[in-house]
Amino acid sequence: MAKKSHFRFCFGPWNISEGADPYGPTTRPAQSFDWKLSALKKLGFDAMMFHDDDAVPDIDSKSHSQVLKEARQLRRRLDDAGVVAEMVAPRLWFSPNTIDGAYTSNDRKCRQYAIDRSLQSIDIARELGTDILVLWLAREGTYLRESKSGLRSVELLVEAFDKMLAHDKKIRLAIEPKPNEPMDHAYVPTIGHVLAVASQTRDPKRTGALIESAHCILAGLDPADEIDFAMSFGKLWSVHLNDQNGLKYDQDKPFGSTNLRSAFNQVRVLMRNGYGRNGEFVCFDVHPFRTTKVEHWLAHLDNSRRTFLRLVEKVQTFDEKQAQRLIADRDYQALDQMVIEHLLG
Ligand code: XLS
Ligand code: MG
């Protein structure tokens, strides 16, 4: 019997997506925010993540005071539903102002737009009661390297982060690295890059990381090792667990869908390092397959959580003593088979 798990779970409204891809339109009709919120409750999740314009739709057409008013209204809806806001993330990849990047755009006015929008997202986060600002640096990179200077881009990133850290003494920046897509090459592709940039900011203690499994795989790295690395610096403040079949477009598959052993190792390091003990949530950044029918629309979220909890049991029942004996004997062949049979059993 598994011991009760302390983990709390989360997803974002964009994870109930409609099936559009670059080659075809949506395959499911859009659902309202209220429908998504009640779906989250029904599935037994505890928190929701928000882009700034998930929290306040059409954000660029509204005044700052109107944005904050709507954020406060959202907070009341969340409180009534008993749901926590896990984070807010400025969506800096849709606007005409972010075509050439946001903080690293070559156009000063566009850089200012990105900073203003980020500072406003911090104000939204405060209204929603979260101290985490997630920064997926979507367009901070290039299609061709000659178009920007990498050194100058790091300076611009640090300047932007410093402004955010100065804007609110409590906010923590959780940078979500990804090596490519939409860009050819991104400037902050891995957790090592995140921590290096964090060390240059005015408050490295408040600058940390969010790890997404698929993004690690796209960088050719092992998500469990990336988790261990971030946690050895006390810097893992959120995770986007999902899966990815090799070096392809960003797939956001259900957790464990492609590589169950990798998923087991991710859960194992999270448990070993006490993830969640300081209030961190387990978030799934997963999408339904395009083929998914409306009646099966939430299965990818429910399944990711089920798989995670099954793997918690697998970690709890893994024979650590036997593993240690095999390690001491340097019998890694037997250790390999032991892991396989444990997962099959
Ligand atoms: C995209 C990212 C995105 C962030 C949130 O690849 O995973 O969904 O998690 O801004
Ligand atoms: Mg993500």
Pocket of ligand 1 (CB under 6 A): 89, 134, 136, 176, 178, 212, 240, 250, 285
**Alpha-carbon separation of residue 251 from 11, 24, 243, 246 (angstroms):** 16, 16, 7, 9
Helix residue ranges, H only, the chain: 33-42, 52-55, 64-81, 108-128, 150-167, 191-199, 213-218, 223-232, 260-272, 299-316, 320-328, 332-344
Say whether 335 sits in a helix, a strand or coil.
Answer: helix
Tell me the CA–centroid distance for residue 341 and ligand 2, in Å: 32
Contact at 8 Å (CB) between 252 and 261?
no
Residue 256 region by backbone torsions, left for phi larger than 0, else alpha for psi between -120 and 50, else beta: left
Kindly give, in sequence order, each residue whose CB lies less than 8 Å from that of residue 9, ignoring residues fewer than 6 positions away.
44, 45, 46, 47, 281, 282, 283, 284, 305, 308
pLDDT, residue 1, reads 43
- Kindly identify the ligand whose nearest atom is closest to the C-alpha of 86: 1
CATH architecture of 9-317: Alpha-Beta Barrel (3.20)
Q: Containing H/E element for 136?
A: strand 132-136
pLDDT, residue 18, reads 98
Cα end-to-end span (Å), the chain: 15
User: How many C-beta atoms surround the C-beta of residue 8 within 10 A?
Assistant: 16
Tell me the CA–centroid distance for residue 212 and ligand 2, in Å: 6
pLDDT, residue 196, reads 98
Residue of minimum CA distance from atom 5 in ligand 1: 136
Q: What is the CA radius of gyration of the chain?
A: 20
- Kindly identify the ligand whose nearest atom is closest to the C-alpha of 87: 1
- Kindly identify the ligand whose nearest atom is closest to the C-alpha of 251: 1
Tell me the CA–centroid distance for residue 252 and ligand 2, in Å: 8
Say whether 185 sits in a helix, a strand or coil.
Answer: strand
Report the nearest atom of ligand 1 relative to the CA of 49: 5
Whether the ω angle into residue 96 lies within 30 degrees of 0, i.e. cis, is no
| CA–CA–CA angle 167, 194, 171 (5° rounding) | 25
CA 320 to chain centroid, in Å, comes to 30
Tell me the CA–centroid distance for residue 150 and ligand 2, in Å: 24
Say whether 145 sits in a helix, a strand or coil.
Answer: helix
pLDDT, residue 5, reads 83
Tell me the CA–centroid distance for residue 155 and ligand 1, in Å: 23
The one-letter code for the residue type at 190 is T
So which residues are the catalytic ones? 51, 54
Contact at 8 Å (CB) between 81 and 122?
no
Kindly give, in sequence order, each residue whose CB lies less than 8 Å from that of residue 229, ignoring residues fewer than 6 positions away.
191, 192
Residue in 293, 216, 286 with CA at minimum distance from that of residue 254: 286
**DSSP category for residue 48:** E
Residue of minimum CA distance from atom 3 in ligand 1: 136
User: How many C-beta atoms surround the C-beta of residue 58 within 10 A?
Assistant: 9
CA 104 to chain centroid, in Å, comes to 21
Residue of minimum CA distance from atom 10 in ligand 1: 136
Residue 287: how many CA atoms within 13 Å on its side-chain side? Answer: 17
Contact at 8 Å (CB) between 240 and 12?
no
Report the nearest atom of ligand 1 relative to the CA of 178: 6
Contact at 8 Å (CB) between 213 and 223?
yes
Residue of minimum CA distance from atom 2 in ligand 1: 136
The low-confidence residues of the chain, meaning pLDDT below 70, are: 1-4
Residue of minimum CA distance from atom 8 in ligand 1: 285
